[in-house]
Structure 1
Amino acid sequence: MARKNYTDEFRQRAVDLFASTPGATLKGIAADLGISRGALREWVEKHGSGSTTTGTASTPAPARAESQAAKVLRLEAENARLEAEKLKLQTERDILRQAAKYFAGETNW
């Protein structure tokens, strides 16, 4: 299988999502994003906590923007997962339709 290349922005947003989600697991976040748990673990180790704030206590707006960005990232990943599942189900349905036509033609009632 071909190795996937992710942008630095995607990696940082994934780390931010993991850091900003209370009770999140690497496995759960990785599944939501459609990436491997090991890749997410490496990104978290490389990028640290993923905090992008400057350390001032009076900056709640950037935190809100990050949660919005994390939400968008999560929804995009979920959308991609659902589209892949839809394609798989459509393929299975088409195979079953062809099989039904084949077997219906063999019966001599």
Structure 2
Amino acid sequence: MTKKRRTFSPEFKQEAARLVLDQGYSYHQACSSLGVGESALRRWVHQLADERQGITPKGKALTPEQQRIQ
């Protein structure tokens, strides 16, 4: 039996990344409270930090400004 891959909305990813960037959560704390893997959270945090610096992401954008640019 195969596991179905979970998908998360851009809004969820943005809020998860904000826990680490803006609210001072550690990666471990944020992963535990949200039930997501650490590698995914690290990817979202890195993407949000890049978007805040004006770098257009390769995948789906998290911030509304970058979504309009795409």
User: TM-score, normalized by length of structure 2?
Assistant: 0.61
Amino acid at match of 1:8: P
What is the deviation of 1:27? Answer: 1.4
Between the aligned partners of 1:35 and 1:28, the Cα distance in structure 2 is: 11
Aligned in 2, Cα 1:29/1:50: closer, same or farther, shift over 3 Å? Answer: farther
Aligned-residue RMSD, C-alpha: 1.9
Query: Quick one: distance in 2 between partners of 1:16 and 1:25?
Result: 11
| 1:16 paired residue number | 18
> Does 1:47 pair with 2:48?
yes
Q: Which has the higher helix share?
A: 1
CA distance in 1, matches of 2:30, 2:11: 16
Q: Identity of counterpart residues, as a percentage?
A: 26
Aligned length: 50
User: Does residue 31 of the first structure (1) align with residue 27 of the second (2)?
Assistant: no
Paired letter, 2:27: L
Deviations 1:36-86 (A, max 9, x none): 1111001011111786xxxxxxxxxxxxxxxxxxxxxxxxxxxxxxxxxxx
Q: Does the 8 A contact of 1:26 with 1:41 survive in 2? A: yes
Q: Which has the larger radius of gyration?
A: 1
Provide runs of 4+ in structure 1 moved above 4 Å: none
C-alpha distance in structure 2 between counterparts of 1:50 and 1:35, whole Å: 21
- Per-residue displacement from partner, 1:16-41 (whole Å, max 9, x unpaired)? 1211223x211110110011111100
Give yes or no for contact 1:19–1:49 (8 Å, CA) kept in 2.
Answer: no
